[in-house]
Chain A
Amino acid sequence: MIGLGILNGMAVTLRNFIGSYFENDRLITVQYPEERDPLPENYRNFPFLVFDTDDAEAGLRCVACKICEKECPPQCILIVKSEDKKPDYLSKPQFYPRVFDIDISVCMSCQICVEVCPFEAIKMDKVFELSRRERFGGLLMHKDRLAKSNTYYHQIHPLEAAEVDSRLAEAAEAKKKKT
């Protein structure tokens, strides 16, 4: 019978409409920004630099080895190496980045910098509400804005950060035994 198919479709629509009041599965939208879905542990957005202790300058894990700068596919990282050295977390004297810039308007959140970093110094952030009024300067992140504490890292990626910490502690232990 002509028209039966349309009526059948209408019945589906009606069921979805009424069902959306009772079943979360049938809901389509979340009323952002009042409601927010929690971000998953693995969520990644833009990179930041991790520092230990309370001092963003002295505790910075980055040793300016420039591997991330080289591997970054869209080439959004700029590092200028220091001339002098400062002690790292194993109190071994290391270079540090005099300039560390990431242009996050170019960054494509691929996480390759995190994977290639041998010093666990660069990690992915979860902040995503980053719109700025300025066209160029606002999204060019300098070292002071990129540096975030290990405590913050623990807050956003609890499981991953714990794993990283245990790996670093192991490395420190192994080094102690050697000397």
Chain B
Amino acid sequence: MTANTQTLELPGMTSRIDGELLEVSMGPQHPSTHGVFRMNVALEGEIVRKLKPVFGYLHRNHEKIGENASYLGSMPYTDRLDYFCSMTNNWAYALTVEKLAGIEVPERAEYLRVILAELTRLQNHASLLGFLLSDMGAWGTPLMYAFREREKILDLFESLSGSRMMCDYMRFGGCRVDPGPDWMERAKKIVKAFPRFLDEFERLIVSNEILVARTQEIGKLSAELAIDAGITGPMLRASGVNYDIRKVDGYGFYPRFKFRVPLGDHGDCYDRMMMRVLEMRESIEILHQAFEQIPAGPVVNPKVKIRAFKPPAGEAYGRIEGPKGELGFYLISDGSANPYRYRVRPPSFINLTILEDMCLGHTVADVMVILGSVDIVMGEVDR
């Protein structure tokens, strides 16, 4: 089966006199498909009757490369999965290897990881909101405001890890460098100023009549279908299912923080969008607590060897609540320097499987909004 030659079977489902549907190929070079993603859409007038996602344009054999690289050598590749949230990708991978090899993580490093993961969530959700509005035709302005705030957080990442997006910061048993007190002060200042942006952004969008008309009752996803399809993350919670791995698994030091899990009611695009705004507010709460509690000490476990790292034979599945959903890594070790099997459970890919069910019966213009509200990154979908 070659993905590019797939066509749609069009049964008699049209009300047109000549009984024909118009088949349109949206993407892969489309500004609103968030990368190289194609949808084969069958239209009746403007209404979507059938939709088939086609992906694989960005496939680069991530899992096979991971099996041929050393354990540490896969770490920089995880940055390139979901290139918006390299810190959480690093954490998920480091968590899995730590589980596999039974490595302890120092307290300061755990707090640092929480701080960085929540900062990542802030910047991911901020840029998602910008993209979503840009998909709806609000070109430029909201996206620029969102990117302005995101850039401040990326500057923090840059001064800590050396790179804005490809951080490669976590190591097995901790983090690579210790952020000095200056960095902490800067981070505190940025987090303190963040609610102002959120308030402004909410005023900009929440009551806007056009936005309400374009998102409410669009792309509804029922809780049952979401659970059946394995949807995770903000999308699942927007459908009203209380499932947050930070609460369920309590990995890292999350049980030490007080935060609420926002839940949606309708499961439409508007709920999914507001879910991100509310999650950002909770992230700010977590960050304030983490800045208060973080102790001094080492940031990396000195017992972990950096050269010739070989975990014992066995298998491990580690997962975290990434900004897009459950990000999991599955590793099988046979005791050698590279994993026997290396598997990624990407949230965007599995959240995308539900796209057709959400889009049927809506117009072409709504497909873009629904796709935007799923929050995908093609680097992670195709791997």
The chain A residues found within 8 Å of chain B, CB to CB, are 2-6, 8-9, 11-13, 15-16, 25-28, 40-44, 67, 71-73, 108-112, 115-116, 124
Contacts and interface: CB of A to CB of B under 8 A. Distances in A.
B193 interface: yes
A6 B208 contact: yes
A44 B163 contact: yes
Interface in B180-215: 193, 200, 203-212
Contacts of A15: 200
Given A5-B211, A6-B208, A12-B203, 18 more contacts: A6-B210, A8-B207, A9-B203, A9-B208, A16-B200, A25-B193, A28-B144, A28-B148, A40-B159, A42-B158, A42-B162, A43-B158, A71-B73, A108-B166, A110-B166, A112-B72, A115-B176, A116-B306
A28 B155 CA distance: 13
A109 B163 contact: yes
Nearest to B151: A28
Most buried by A among B75, B145, B159, B208: B208
A40 B160 CA distance: 8
Closest 8 CB pairs of A and B: A110-B76, A5-B207, A40-B159, A44-B162, A73-B73, A5-B208, A42-B162, A12-B204
Nearest to A17: B141
A84 to B, nearest CB: 27
B177 A26 contact: no
Nearest to A27: B148
B299 to A, nearest CB: 14
Nearest to B74: A73
Interface of B: 69-70, 72-77, 141, 144-145, 147-148, 155, 158-163, 166, 168, 176-177, 193, 200, 203-212, 306-307
Contact of A3 (B76, B159, B176, B209): B209
A12 B207 CA distance: 13
Nearest to A8: B203
Contacts of A72: 73
Contacts of A73: 69-70, 73-74, 76-77
Given A28-B148, A44-B163, A115-B306, A110 B208 contact: no
B236 to A, nearest CB: 28
A115 B305 CA distance: 11
B328 to A, nearest CB: 22
Contacts of B159: 40-43
Contact of A2 (B162, B209, B307): B209
Contacts of B144: 28
A125 to B, nearest CB: 11
Given A42-B159, A42-B160, A12 B209 contact: no
A6 B141 CA distance: 14
A7 to B, nearest CB: 10
A53 B72 CA distance: 34
A110 to B, nearest CB: 3
Nearest to B145: A16
B168 A110 contact: yes
Nearest to A26: B148
Nearest to A11: B203
B145 to A, nearest CB: 7
Contacts of B209: 2-3, 5-6
Contacts of B74: 73
B200 A12 contact: yes
A169 B208 CA distance: 65
Contacts of A111: 162, 168
A31 to B, nearest CB: 15
A13 B160 contact: no
B238 to A, nearest CB: 21
A4 B69 CA distance: 57
Contacts of A124: 162
B232 to A, nearest CB: 29
B193 A71 contact: no
B307 A71 contact: yes
20 contacts: A3-B209, A5-B206, A5-B211, A6-B210, A9-B203, A9-B205, A16-B200, A28-B144, A28-B148, A40-B155, A40-B159, A42-B177, A43-B159, A67-B307, A71-B73, A71-B307, A73-B69, A109-B163, A110-B75, A115-B176
A124 to B, nearest CB: 7
Nearest to A67: B307
A124 B166 CA distance: 15
Contacts of B145: 16, 28
Contacts of A9: 203-205, 208
B70 to A, nearest CB: 7
A167 to B, nearest CB: 15
A44 B145 CA distance: 27
A2 B74 CA distance: 53
